[in-house]
Structure 1
Amino acid sequence: GLVDDVMDANAAEVDGNQKTAEPTESTTESDSSTTESLFSTTEGDMNTTESEMNTTESIVSTSSFPGNLSCVLANKVCVLEGTEDLCDPCDGINCDADKYCLSDNSTCTTKCDCTDEKKIENKEGVCIDPCNPTPCQNKQPCKSILTVPSKFQCQCSPDYDGEFCQNEHNYCNDAKPAKCPIGAFDCVMKGVGQYDCKCADGHNLDEKTNTCIKVTQRLSVDLIFTQTYYSEAYNVEGTEERKNATDSIHSAMADLYGSLLISISYDNFTQGSLVAHYKMDMRMAANGDPDQNIYDLMKYTINCETDNAAKKACFGDLGKPHLPINGTVTEDLRCNGRLLSRWHSMCPHSQIGEFGAMLLR
């Protein structure tokens, strides 16, 4: 009986100890859960921090590489798409080695242009020099001018015409060729840059004004100088005798006729003392009488011959002149060279058309 009691008591004690220990295990589990919860919270905090870091990294990435966004036009300025940040449309544009990026800030667009200002893009987009090889002819220089449609211009000298300087310039077609006189003239080309001009038929050159003047009268004169002996030297160009004689006659005729005298040409000098044979191209006298200039010459020579009016040696060293009765012949050139009668100044009907004769007085 005693042994059984002792055993029961031990069993009860062991059972009590076990029951007491159970709450401790439960508490440990609770502590473990709390610790796990703490760890879980920390992990959450770490996740939050990582998320914040990712967000920061995203912002930094966007700011550092604006090429990820488009450069667009907003309020007349170029900005990154969706922002107010200013941008250069050429950022991130890679052109070929011989080109550079050219931006248009008014549209925020770009294009790759040739670096060498003398070059242009061909159809294949390759930068070429439009003057190499030169399209210009006749050894005329070529210049790159990108503002013209052809992108080049041949710098033609005055002797050549055409886009490629391919034509010889005809100076005779100019409104006023530099080498030609004023008025009616004939012009003939003689080669590249070479041409000749002379007054047209029926016109003579006034050297003082470089003007071709229409000749309306030609007066042929045989004038005798009784105080001068003939010499063959008067018919040789360049001799002192001929120069003195022609200068003296020209001076006297210019003194007599003034602006009516256009030119004098000398046929020759002959014997009979000294006889000068010359022609004067003239304007008709103001009254239209083809004989008026003859009358004036007769009076002039009489005055010079008799010293009645001029009281001077009119013809210099040639001495006093004498004009024979048959010493003049006049041509009225107003009617295409047709001679008119002494007393009439009417062009023939055939020269002025169906309206009949034209009075020229």
Structure 2
Amino acid sequence: MFFLPLDSFNLNENDLVLYNWNFSGFIGSMFVHANIIHLLGNMIFLWVFGNALCAAIGNIAYLFLYICLGIFAGTVHMAFDAHPVVGASGAINGVVGMCVILFPKNKLHCWYFFALPFLWFLKAGKFAISTYWMVLIWLVFDILGNLGSPDGIAHYAHIGGLVGGVIIAIIGLKFKLIETPHQSVFDIGLSKNLGVAQYQLNAEAPSSIYEPFRHTKIENQTVEDKSLYPADTNNSRTSITPKKETINNLFPADTLSMQPDIQLKHCISNETTLTLYLVNNGAPLKFPKLRVPKEVKAQMSFTNLIRYKETGWIRFSTDNITIDSIEFLIYYVDSAQQQRKIRFRCVPAKSSLELISAN
């Protein structure tokens, strides 16, 4: 299957096959596949992992890195195998390698089926698996493939691309060239160093404090509800039982004297949808809850705990109202087991997040 118009580039089929270190093969082999099954298999992996990576680094950087990863994978293949090769799997494994560093704990939802027609047996279902487990299984497959007899698969290209992707992702995170709203391997390592444990919520605070409030500037019109803060808000408490850890483990000593410091890294807005990419540079926030304008729907990546230096996102959306300014509340439980709230205002046009109040 060919993706490049051969006549336009004055090439023939052999020029698009990687062999004998030919330069056109390094590029062309990424766009050529042996058959439709080969093509579809690669495109599924590219669709699953490529979309996530492209959303994190942007279209231009994604295309550039895809080509670089393909060349790197081809170089490793030629150095250790040197058999003629076609296919995008080397470059795609590079994309996968970057994803395992940027999104190691993200879940992959997989479908499967197993059939024995002569027994009239069919089994189908789905399961979820973390990114790093999927990649580890695939890596073991490639390693075993290199140790066994030749099977027509460019295992060295797969391994080379994967390693190249891991290296690029680590460099990108280390020098802050890549930002992700999800937990990267660096974030996971940091949370372990801080001794952060999991919590169990025994009793929810009164549900009224999580009801939507009506205070936002939408399409240059401000609507305010005087009952923004229910009377029981300041007196409400949440009962917390830490699992296996003391409160000092959950809030390390170097963060106990700090206050939460939510900062905006960048935002993406397209009129009716606004996504804020945030980082917490202060004390951890337990059980964060959003309170948003009545006209707005909200989602956030944070779950039971916003750790020190953890990154994440909050996404606001409306049905048909343009969001040019929005105010929202984050309720949380502090290290003293007290219910707190922080109020913010965001103006997408200015990429600004203003702290209005914290108490």
Q: Which interval holds the TM-score relative to the shorter structure?
A: under 0.3
Looking at secondary structure, tell me which structure has more helix per residue: 2
TM-score by length of 2: 0.23
Larger Rg: 1
